[in-house]
Structure 1
Amino acid sequence: MAKEFLSSQDVEFEAIDISTDQKAMNEMVEKTGAMGTPVFIIGSEVVRGWDRGKVSRLLNL
């Protein structure tokens, strides 16, 4: 859902599959303290889980 929403809003994003990238998973846990996905880092804000309203506000959509 998140990828579809961001694409429909013409938002560029990088999707990282932490199930296949141990280094990326370690970095995510270090930066966010989160073990689950999705996690969004927008500017200095961290959004854990898919929160369309919060993501939209942070992206000024």
Structure 2
Amino acid sequence: MTVTIYTTQACPWCQVAKQYLKKNNISFVEKDVGRDHMAVRELINKSGQMGVPVIDANGQIVIGFNELVLNKILLDA
């Protein structure tokens, strides 16, 4: 499974989301939209907005940190 998380350094929920992924041994690619302009475009194209965190798990987009949704997508797969 390919997992990408869009973050910023100042986002506390981004840190929580990354900790969740690490705790569950889910490898991911982090894209910091505060530093990477191409990542900003990707984020907007995928989610239609600029808020973070956004997690893309094989094309399933989760806006914000929602543990129940992430469990269903990532752990029940």
TM, length-normalised to structure 1: 0.90
Superposed CA RMSD in Å reads 1.1
State the 1:60 CA deviation: 2.1
Task: Give the equivalent residue in structure 2 for 1:50.
Answer: 65
Q: Which has the higher strand share?
A: 2
Q: Is the 1:37–1:49 contact (alpha carbons within 8 Å) kept by the matching residues of 2?
A: yes
Query: Structure 2 unaligned runs (5+)?
Result: 1-15
Per-residue displacement from partner, 1:25-45 (whole Å, max 9, x unpaired)?
011101211210000111221
Q: Which runs of 5+ in 1 are unaligned?
A: none
